[in-house]
Structure 1
Amino acid sequence: MPNSMVFSDVDETVIRIKSMFRFLEFYLSRRGEPAGTYDRLLGEIRRGADSGVPRQEINRRYYRFYAGEEADRLAAVGKDWFAHESERGLFVPETRHALDAHAAAGEPLVLISGSFFACLDPIAEATGAEWAIGTRPVIRRGRLTGEVLVPMIGAAKGRAVRVAAAVRGVDLADCTAYGDHISDLDLLGAVGHPVVVGADPALNAHAREAGWRRLPVDDVPFGELETA
């Protein structure tokens, strides 16, 4: 059994994009919605964020868009979405290379994200991740209710890391984590080898003070609206 694990945020850490929003756009198109529907829904989310609504609540609001949708259909659309995005070059090469090195050393990968199964399951399969821990929508009789259990945001990511390490019996001091945004601070701070990906000014400032490793990446813009 390995004595260490690797934990990683997903959006703009492992992949170049914000999966929840790109999936929503793809899903609405598949459903035959008018082109303006995505802009309207994204506008609702953005207005909430701009008015100071906490990220956890923004995350919850996003999943209400899927109320009544069949979980199996979302999973199927997720596979198609992943194939579509992969044609454009989905993964961050620098992070993917680092994760492949961990895999070669026999260290299991756990993805931790505010995104959900439709996006995370195909990404986990492609990266060889052992687990994908995301926000869990409430499902009743095969359909999403629009509510979630716990948004996998901020401190929840740190708790997930500690639980996963305890289940596997590994010492967090020997583990590595990757994250790109200041909201990943609890995730990164839970392990002995944190790695900051990309250009978030607040997170990079913390990394410099703490002596954390930084992984510069190309062509992944720092995003303002963070829900994952």
Structure 2
Amino acid sequence: MATGRVTTPQPCEAAFFDLDNTLVRGASLFYFARGLHARGFFSRRELRRFARRALHYAVRGEVHGHLLEARDLALAFVAGHTTEEIRAIGEEVYEEHMGAKVRPAARALADRHLREGAPVWLVTAAPVELADVVARRLGLTGALGTVAESVDGTYTGRLVTEPLHGPAKAEAVRGLAVAAGWDLARCAAYSDSANDLPLLSLVGRPVAVNPDAALRRHARRHGWEVREFRRWRHAARWTVRAGAAGAVGAAALGLAGLVRRAA
């Protein structure tokens, strides 16, 4: 179902897609955490710690602290492991959890851009290793994601740059556009979250896909196109503060559910 101002997608120079709840139902970090937990990367106690701290920040709406805490814990889990190992797990996580969660309608939009000759990039705060897998499996042009530092093929537990979230995501897309020579006024972007307003405001064709309440209000005020692919609309209360917690908050709540099931 589509709502709001809907037009037939016009050819554009490039298109940028968010991952969580845009191309894929749910939070990719949750799926990745399930894969790591199943392979013994961290204990049930550590999983509880991750979920408890992430939820602490999500409930209070302290987005910056929440992101830093979730980031540091996630980095600690992969420190000392090889990039080859984590990429292999990313492939398995896609097979086990994510492939069946791809939204057909969102994929159809991406495929249409590709058929019209426009590059399609996945842009997400998820680890770039997982983002690369999803982009390749869906036949997209490429992926931008959060990059963890590695030395001689082994993760150090630090990031190369800040998480690809909010303004950082928009800046990464701007840099990609400059390098490729694209006019962002002739590009499209798709996201479900108000956290991606910097990205959506950057392009000439912003599209709100399954938007949270804050993004839906913004889209209506500015006459942006809204695409609703969920079978039913539901309030974003389960993310506590939909416009603030975003994808990482959703992942934290998903992890809490995993802890309850594992207990």
Q: CA RMSD in A?
A: 2.2
Q: Is 1:98 the equivalent of 2:98?
A: no
Range with greater deviation from structure 2 (196-205 or 31-40)? 31-40
Is 2:41–2:77's contact at 8 Å kept on the other side of the alignment? no
Partner of 2:242: none
Q: Within 5 Å, which residues of 2 pair with 1:38-49?
A: 38-49=47-58
Q: Shift of the alpha carbon at 1:147?
A: 1.6
For residues 86 and 65 of structure 1, what CA distance do their matches in structure 2 show? Answer: 21
Is 1:67–1:146's contact at 8 Å kept on the other side of the alignment? yes
Gaps of 5+ in 2: 1-10, 240-244, 249-263
Partner of 2:212: 200
TM-score by length of 2: 0.79
TM-score by length of 1: 0.90
1:25 to 34, 40, 53: 34
For residues 179 and 20 of structure 2, what CA distance do their matches in structure 1 show? Answer: 25
Q: Within 5 Å, which residues of 2 pair with 1:1-228?
A: 4-31=13-40, 34-35=43-44, 37-51=46-60, 52-54=62-64, 56-61=67-72, 62-86=74-98, 89-148=100-159, 149-219=161-231, 222=236, 224=239, 225-227=245-247
SS at match of 1:22: helix
Instruction: Give the ranges of 4+ consecutive aligned residues of structure 1 lying more than 6 Å apart after TM superposition.
Output: none
For residues 12 and 189 of structure 2, what CA distance do their matches in structure 1 show? Answer: 15
**Structure 1 residues 59, 162: CA separation in 2 closer, same or farther (over 3 Å shift)?**
farther
Number of aligned residue pairs: 226
Q: Shift of the alpha carbon at 1:25?
A: 1.6
For residues 246 and 76 of structure 2, what CA distance do their matches in structure 1 show? Answer: 17
Q: Percent identity?
A: 30
SS at match of 1:115: strand
Is 1:19–1:115's contact at 8 Å kept on the other side of the alignment? yes
SS at match of 1:13: coil
SS at match of 2:164: coil
For residues 59 and 101 of structure 1, what CA distance do their matches in structure 2 show? Answer: 35
Question: Residues 46-86 of structure 1, C-alpha deviation per residue, up to 9 Å, x if partnerless?
Answer: 22333425154245223333222221111111101101124
For residues 48 and 215 of structure 2, what CA distance do their matches in structure 1 show? Answer: 29
For residues 32 and 213 of structure 1, what CA distance do their matches in structure 2 show? Answer: 42
**Structure 1 residues 59, 161: CA separation in 2 closer, same or farther (over 3 Å shift)?**
farther
